Amino acid sequence: MCGYAEAEQRKFRGGSRKQCRASNMEEASGKPTAVAVVTEPRFTQRYKEYLEKQKLLDRQHRVKKLRDGTVALPVLRQAFLEQHLRELRNRVAPGSTCVLTQLLDPVPSKKAQSYSPAQRLCLEVSRWVEGRGVTWSAELEADLPRSWQRHGDLLLLSEDCFQAKQWRHLEPELWETVASALGVQRLAKRGRVSPDSTRTPAVSLLLGDHGWVEHVDNGIRYKFDVTQCMFSFGNITEKLRVASLPCAGEVLVDLYAGIGYFTLPFLVHAEAAFVHACEWNPHAVVALRNNLELNGVADRCQIHFGDNRKLKLSNVADRVNLGLIPSSEEGWPIACRVLKQDAGGILHIHQNVESFPGKTLQPPGSSEMEEHWPSPQQIISNQLKNGATSDSRRKTLSVATKQEWQSWAEVAETRIATLLHQVHGKPWKTQILHIQPVKSYAPHVDHIVLDLECRPCHLVG
């Protein structure tokens, strides 16, 4: 075997420290690779027939002719063993010389190009499983993931996959096969969010040595450890909305800052003058501090690490963001305290609100209440007059607004008005400006945001 294939073989086996470093750099780059058997052209057909019979041929990549005239036949990385090399040399094509090599930037086959990622995953995992002597079944196929989150070269699987007992006997090599099929270097699997107040995600790293990833939303860079910090793709519409709010010159308090989900849009795009970011998950604080630097806004933000109920701030905020679900009610007294006592401001209150399945609720004055989920771009707002009654508010309700949202918003408004009076020792006026749907959190449970204007009564006369 000459030149090119021998060099590729040395690279694949990592014969020297220098070659190992080069191989690691290639892995870190995330470029696709494939493993192939290289032989002379006259033996190609016999090799191919053997590989097909043994279910070792990688049909996701094309056979490739190399520069030195030899031919590379892609094989299934996890199933191909040293004994197969010996059989090819000694029994299938006696006298042939073959080596195992790594193909950089392999060309996908026509068939592979037509597969969806889920189909490709099923095909490659089933072949690999059968190559290990395990019978492929409908149960295993149904246990494969159908969706996932991609963060660069890391794929985050949902908790409802790979639960069958058979998988346990195939680890850890199974995860290398899954990662290869989906074109990533690292894998993690999500569990349920911990019930602790830091909302630590129960994420297990299946493949790779760390869980740090980078995600870009609306031009903002977020770096975080998926095994320690939450990140919801479903909140993108709310992040876009707050980025468009007119916050120039304003001071904002973000009571549940996390890694900067809303702190950063307020600073980078809404142009808030300053943000006080509160967070008590130490891993999220590390990420938040890093993200503020990454996005060039660290000089306009102060991080308050610890329990926000012990926050030593008052009379500073034009806006307060309360981005905690299922409820941020524990933070309402703090939000009232940090609002500017002479000017007031706006609260952005997140909440999960339950709808009543099977009921069509019709508010007075409305002919019909639609039960479908509105598009995130819909603006659901009430232009309320000072002193409007509950009934008159209901009459102004948009047909896209669920009655449960409005009912919860009115209860929250009354509660906030009471808290403001208690905190500041004088009456305040509250007004529902806007109810924004963010996402469906669970069946019959909607994540919404209430924009509530709060002003001292002397300002509204």
Q: 323-354 pLDDT, tens per residue?
A: 999 999 999 999 999 999 999 999 999 999 99
Residue 358 tokens, joined: 């099977």
Taking 70 as the threshold, does the pLDDT of residue 307 lie above it?
yes
The percentage of the chain sitting over the pLDDT mark of 70, rounded to a whole number, equals 80
Name 406's Cβ contacts closer than 8 Å, sequence gap at least 6: 363, 393, 394, 397, 435
CATH number (3.30.300.110, 3.40.250.10, 3.10.180.10, 3.40.50.10800) of 115-209 reads 3.30.300.110
Q: 196-248 pLDDT, tens per residue?
A: 555 566 889 999 999 999 988 889 999 999 999 888 777 888 999 999 999 99
Residue 397 contacts residue 363 (beta carbons within 8 Å): yes
Q: What is the pLDDT of residue 401?
A: 65
What average pLDDT does the segment 284-296 reach? 97
Q: 310-319 pLDDT, tens per residue?
A: 999 999 999 9
Task: Return the domain boundaries, the chain.
Answer: 33-112, 115-209, 230-355+401-456
- Cis link prior to 326 (omega < 30° from 0)? yes
Q: 415-425 pLDDT, tens per residue?
A: 999 999 999 99
Residue predicted with more confidence, 34 or 277: 277
CATH number (1.10.10.10, 3.30.2420.10, 3.30.70.260, 3.30.70.2580) of 33-112 reads 3.30.70.2580
How far is residue 183's CA from residue 155's CA, in Å, rounded to a whole number? 9
- Helices 117-131 and 173-182 pack at an angle, to 10 degrees, of 150
What CATH fold (topology level) applies to the domain 230-355+401-456? Rossmann fold (3.40.50)
Q: 66-101 pLDDT, tens per residue?
A: 888 999 999 987 678 888 988 998 999 998 888 888
Residue 338 contacts residue 346 (beta carbons within 8 Å): no
Query: Across the chain, what does the average pLDDT equal?
Result: 81
Name 335's Cβ contacts closer than 8 Å, sequence gap at least 6: 253, 255, 320, 322, 347, 349
